[in-house]
Structure 1
């Protein structure tokens, strides 16, 4: 025997019915704080400084990262036998 029940309610109503806390105000506060920090950090940095921070060794760093990924893929494929 199979019984199905369809309940038509909003997420807020379901959360209240199940006794779960409303975390929306906390999420909004955290997202606002994160957005403010990111905006402040990005405004303080110049594009060139930002690239140097993200890519410390420039093109050489990207090449080293690519070599590392390929080495990891190769070792993983040898372990799985593919």
Structure 2
């Protein structure tokens, strides 16, 4: 027997239902620190690329995927 249950809720509702902590303030602080570092010139494009490489699960193939996504965003934003 196979039973499927479909739940329609927002990510916030799912997080609360499962009792997971809300890391929104931590995330917001992290993003603000990244923006401040970029604004002050502490982060250069090469450093950002190296960070992205460490975050991508598939190495260079993952980086190529993200490059393509960013390129599409640039093209659609300039039109």
TM-score by length of 1: 0.48
Q: In structure 2, what is the equivalent of residue 4 of structure 1? A: 4
When Rg is computed on C-alpha atoms for both structures, the one with the higher figure is 1
CA distance in 1, matches of 2:6, 2:32: 36
CA distance in 1, matches of 2:37, 2:25: 18
Please state which structure has a larger fraction of its residues in helix.
1
Q: Give the ranges of 4+ consecutive aligned residues of structure 1 lying more than 4 Å apart after TM superposition.
A: none
TM-score by length of 2: 0.50
The size of the alignment, in residue pairs, is: 44
Gaps of 5+ in 2: 47-79
Q: In structure 2, what is the equivalent of residue 35 of structure 1? A: 35
Gaps of 5+ in 1: 43-49, 55-82
In angstroms, what is the RMSD of aligned CA positions? 1.8
